[in-house]
């Protein structure tokens, strides 16, 4: 992949209809039993992000955008760790309804939540010091309708919402480190790779999850 050909088969996981339906189900479940649903890439993926922010001594009032926030649980964990300027966006209204309910249950009224399509961000979505993506870029990559164009638009959107020298933390299970370096080569430089669980298959050790920190160039 990487020569303009599509590395993945398109999938319903790349469609808004799928996520609307999924979050409508999770919303109902939350109303019934108070369970916020699954955490993408597990608890450790949130810990890994928060640890990095703490290690970098990122100020607690830095503006943070969670791209494709889903149930908003990552934002709740960030708020618990003391971060105060948090925004979550999702193109699925059901996801934002769910994350609003999770926010209320946790008493985190200062978390800002908006229905926004990251590929067509509104003007007020700008000036963020940190952007976080856990699985959203993966989903966009599976869109049956012009995934290559949507990936390019994602990078453009990221450049418009993230301040120069701001940090972008991405967690992916579809892309290798090398592929992500290529995808984000325009406008971004790699700062570090975060440790993720390794799996062993047929004697070869690989990573099922890649987590990278980029910095937007000046």
CB 94 within 8 A of CB 37: no
Instruction: Please report whether residue 1 resides in a domain.
Output: no
Residue 75 has a pLDDT of 97
110 CB-contact burial (10 Å; exposed 0-12 / middle 13-18 / buried 19+): exposed
- Please state, in angstroms and rounded to a whole number, the distance separating the CA atoms of residues 74 and 32: 22
Confidence of residue 37 (pLDDT cuts 50, 70, 90): low
- 46: nearest Cα among 22, 62, 69: 69
CB 197 within 8 A of CB 161: no
Instruction: Please report whether residue 169 resides in a domain.
Output: yes
Instruction: Please report whether residue 127 resides in a domain.
Output: yes
> Where do the DSSP E strands lie in 109-209?
112-115, 128-134, 162-172, 188-194, 198-201, 204-207
Residue 157 has a pLDDT of 97
Instruction: Please report whether residue 55 resides in a domain.
Output: yes
CA angle 143, 147, 149 (to 5 degrees): 145
Domains of the chain: total: 1
Residue 104 has a pLDDT of 93
Residue 1 has a pLDDT of 35
Residue 194 has a pLDDT of 94
- 162: nearest Cα among 132, 119, 193, 194: 132
Domain with 206, as residue range(s), is 39-216
Of 31 and 68, more confident:
68
Of 202 and 1, more confident:
202
Instruction: Please report whether residue 195 resides in a domain.
Output: yes
Provide the mean pLDDT of the chain.
88
Confidence of residue 144 (pLDDT cuts 50, 70, 90): confident
Instruction: Please report whether residue 9 resides in a domain.
Output: no
Query: Do the bridges between strand 162-172 and strand 198-201 make them parallel or antiparallel, or are there none, so unpaired?
Result: unpaired
- 48: nearest Cα among 196, 210, 201, 203: 196
Residue 73 has a pLDDT of 93
CB 181 within 8 A of CB 155: no
pTM score: 0.85
Task: Write the CATH number for 44.
Answer: 3.40.50.150
Q: pLDDT by residue (tens digit) across 49-71? A: 999 999 999 999 999 999 999 99
Instruction: Please report whether residue 5 resides in a domain.
Output: no
Q: What is the dihedral of CA 61, 67, 176, 218, to 10 degrees?
A: -50
- Please state, in angstroms and rounded to a whole number, the distance separating the CA atoms of residues 134 and 122: 21
Instruction: Please report whether residue 29 resides in a domain.
Output: no
- Please state, in angstroms and rounded to a whole number, the distance separating the CA atoms of residues 115 and 176: 29
């Amino acid at each position: 992949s990487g020569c303009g050909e599509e590395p993945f088969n398109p999938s319903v996981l790349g469609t808004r209809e799928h996520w609307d339906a999924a979050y409508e189900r999770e919303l109902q479940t939350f109303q019934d039993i108070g369970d916020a649903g699954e955490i993408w890439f597990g608890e450790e993926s949130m810990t890994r992000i928060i640890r990095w922010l703490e290690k970098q001594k990122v100020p607690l009032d830095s503006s943070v955008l969670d791209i494709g926030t889903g149930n908003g649980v990552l934002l709740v964990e960030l708020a618990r760790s003391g971060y105060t300027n948090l925004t979550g966006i999702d193109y699925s209204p059901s996801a934002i309804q769910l994350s609003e309910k999770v926010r209320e249950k946790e008493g985190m009224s200062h978390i800002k939540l908006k229905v926004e399509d990251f590929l067509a961000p509104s003007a007020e979505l700008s000036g963020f010091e940190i952007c976080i993506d856990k699985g959203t870029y993966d989903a966009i990559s599976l869109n049956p309708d012009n995934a290559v164009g949507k990936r390019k638009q994602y990078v453009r959107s990221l450049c418009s919402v993230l301040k120069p020298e701001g940090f972008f933390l991405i967690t992916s299970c579809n892309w290798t480190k090398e592929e992500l370096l290529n995808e984000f080569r325009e406008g971004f430089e790699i700062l570090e790779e975060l440790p993720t669980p390794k799996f062993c298959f047929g004697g070869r050790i690989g990573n099922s999850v890649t987590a990278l920190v980029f910095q937007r160039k000046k």
